[in-house]
Structure 1
Amino acid sequence: MPRTSTSENRRLRGRATRLAVAGTALALAAPVPAAAAVPGEVQAQGGAQVQAQGGAQAAAANPVSLLKYTTKERRDALAYWTTARMKAVGASVDLGPSGPRAKPWRGPALKTVGRLFFVNATGADTWCSATAVKSANKSAVMTAAHCVRRGSSPVNTNMSMVFVPGYSKGQQPHGVFAVRAAVTPRSWENDSVNDMAALIVDAGKDGRKLTDTVGGQAIAFNRPVGGTVSALGYPATRPQRGEELLRCVGTAKKENGAQVIPCDLNGGSSGGPWFADFDTTTGKGVLVSVNSGLDSLAPTKMYGEVLGDTAKKVYDRAQRP
């Protein structure tokens, strides 16, 4: 039985109550050799942070960190996340009843939105939610930074990470994509600020790139907060227990430097998209944030970062090979 814990939901209260269903004990992986790096870019591999060439000063000036997974790690991740394991991790967590605001999505299949499965820093199976977005390399996925690594703890990174777009009740209609690299803000790594991340995924089993397979949602940066937003994700609430996509709808407002909507999606929905201009007949919208935190364990508010200049730099790095 996969090991899971709801302690991630209790870890921080108020603005910073995170939604990943994950344990929180520290676990360090053994260092491995660094891959070739861009000067000034901080990279991590196999859970151990390594400094790229250019020295500490150059790294400090770069606002993004890059976590890379080896070919073997990606191959092992695909083998690890069987259909049975995906279903088992949801069955092992119960965060109470779904709703009343969060309701199952009953519109057209959202091929771009899916579950992000991984093994967290404590060695526990868990998941978040994520979205394929338009990108130059056709391989970028947006999620929350706390779905990649623990905030303010650079060496505590998640492993065996795969993205399953369109996941529904154990079905993987578009395949499973291994995460090749994850880009997070340095401010998250060091200070738990800017809870957003971008992933770069391998091509699928058929050799096709992600957005050639499922399409990609538009994404906006420095967009004024406001208007109607649809927030989606795969929470560990019952009866769905991560097996179905749920949605909240609300008006976005600014609060304490972030944006907030009325929503009771819970753990497991971390990293799920906030869509503005969402067309329920086509399933297309503009991604303006991702699920980041709740106001309490009995949530009435969902928080998301305002995607500004730092978020744009994270996304731009993820558009590269």
Structure 2
Amino acid sequence: MKRTLVFGGGVAAAGLLAAGLVAPAQAANDVKSTNLANTNFAAWQVINYWWGEKHSNFVNATPYNVETDVKRAKHISTGGPSADSKAGIVPAIGDEKKAASKSKNVNLPRTTGKVFFRGADGKPHWCSATSVQSQYRNLVATAGHCVYDTVSNKATLDKWVFVPGYYQGKTPWGIYVGKTAYTHYDFDVYEDGDRNYAFVTVYNGVLPDGWDRKKRRMKIKDVGRLGDNVGGQGLAYNQKVGVNVFVFGYPSGSHPDGNHAFNGKTLKWTYGKTFAVQAPAIKGEELIGTKSSFTGQGAIGSSWLLQYKSAKRIGYLNGVTIGVSDTDGNKRYDTSVSPYFDGETYGVYKAAISNWSGKIA
């Protein structure tokens, strides 16, 4: 759903992107915010759910398979997404501590990880997600339906956490409990595919720190802010369609022909140009796609990074995977699909970036 926005200031050029640090004006009621765990006690309950019983919920979590297969998605040559104001960027937070100087390989971003939550079926699931730049270095971006429960129509999914670099029960940079979720009103109310993205503020990360015999519970230690530990991607909006992007995520599940190409255990990537896509089945009139063999389960929420710099592991978030599609009918997924990031996307992001989360420990 495209709206005409009034641009509220000047912009400056920055390389191939027009860097608009003053963004389009947006009505406050276009942004929906919902508490996930807004007290320390609530955050403790979330941690206990994931770390209790020898991390069994982490281990048993399965890739989220809700709305992964985008039926009848098609490439279009006319119409489709268009900028609603001037192009703009928000710079990234670099992962400078271990930046590789030169490498022929693609260095995977430490910002990417998995979001875990309890689904409408009462079972633990996960999607892909990434850390993004914000004032308090505490923000995560993913698909809207990896935050908002489109199955039961409950406000949000339960027990929501982000774990960068998660691998088989290991949480190398800590576990970050979601505090508040921000999405576009049109997704929250109408499940508009063009607005299927979410930004979530998270508490400082925590790790186990022994057992408290007196309180009969696990002790935890604070490991600091998300962005300080893994960096945070920038944001790009109102960019041209037809640019190259890297897509980073944890695909799992099978192609329609039964081929099980990915297991979701390790971070994967694809690279290609974006193009305009429409998908009436998910109310998607202004989507973008890129050629990708990713299967949908687990890959939902994957980050689309524009101008990704492998040495510093940072770029500009310019999309999130909301589904995959077999566009040529050969029973193999060939396209990943994302909303087009425009000024309204920036408006949701802007509503989230200045909100402090604090510590749990």
Aligned residues: 251
Contact 2:149 2:156 in 1 (8 A): yes
Q: Which amino acid aligns with 1:255?
A: V
Show the 5 A alignment for 1:117-132: 117-132=116-131
SS at match of 1:269: coil
CA 1:92–1:148: 2 relative to 1, 3 Å: closer
Query: Who is 1:67 aligned against?
Result: 34
Query: Who is 1:174 aligned against?
Result: 173
CA 1:91–1:310: 2 relative to 1, 3 Å: closer
Show the 5 A alignment for 1:289-308: 289-296=319-326, 298-308=332-342
- Stretches (4+) displaced over 6 A: none
Query: Who is 1:278 aligned against?
Result: 308
Contact 2:162 2:175 in 1 (8 A): yes
Deviates more, 1:288-297 or 1:268-277: 288-297
Query: Who is 2:100 aligned against?
Result: none
Contact 2:325 2:334 in 1 (8 A): yes
Deviation at 1:207, TM superposition (A): 5.0
Instruction: State percent identity of aligned pairs.
Output: 28
- Give, in whole Å, the separation in 2 of the partners of 1:153 and 1:239: 30
Q: Gaps spanning 5+ residues in structure 1: where?
A: 1-59, 96-105
Q: Which amino acid aligns with 1:279?
A: K
Query: Who is 1:79 aligned against?
Result: 48
Deviation at 1:235, TM superposition (A): 2.0
TM-score when scaled to structure 2? 0.64
Root-mean-square deviation (Å) = 2.5
CA 1:81–1:107: 2 relative to 1, 3 Å: farther
- Give, in whole Å, the separation in 2 of the partners of 1:239 and 1:146: 24
Q: Which amino acid aligns with 1:162?
A: V
Q: Which amino acid aligns with 1:287?
A: L
Contact 2:64 2:298 in 1 (8 A): no
Structure in which a larger fraction of residues adopt strand: 2
Deviation digits for residues 61-118 of structure 1 (CA, Å, limit 9, x no counterpart): 601111102323321111212344223224999x9xxxxxxxxxx7435211000000
Deviation digits for residues 254-283 of structure 1 (CA, Å, limit 9, x no counterpart): 123111001122211111100111223332
TM-score when scaled to structure 1? 0.72
Q: Which amino acid aligns with 2:127?
A: C
Query: Who is 2:219 aligned against?
Result: none
Q: Which amino acid aligns with 2:309?
A: D
- Give, in whole Å, the separation in 1 of the partners of 2:127 and 2:317: 17
Query: Who is 1:248 aligned against?
Result: 270
Query: Who is 1:288 aligned against?
Result: 318
Q: Which amino acid aligns with 1:187?
A: D
User: Aligned to 2:230, which of 190, 197, 214?
Assistant: 214
CA 1:75–1:298: 2 relative to 1, 3 Å: farther
CA 1:251–1:118: 2 relative to 1, 3 Å: same
SS at match of 1:220: strand
Structure label with greater radius of gyration: 2
Deviation digits for residues 111-145 of structure 1 (CA, Å, limit 9, x no counterpart): 11000000023322111111101111211111010
Show the 5 A alignment for 1:193-208: 193=192, 194-205=195-206, 206=222, 208=224
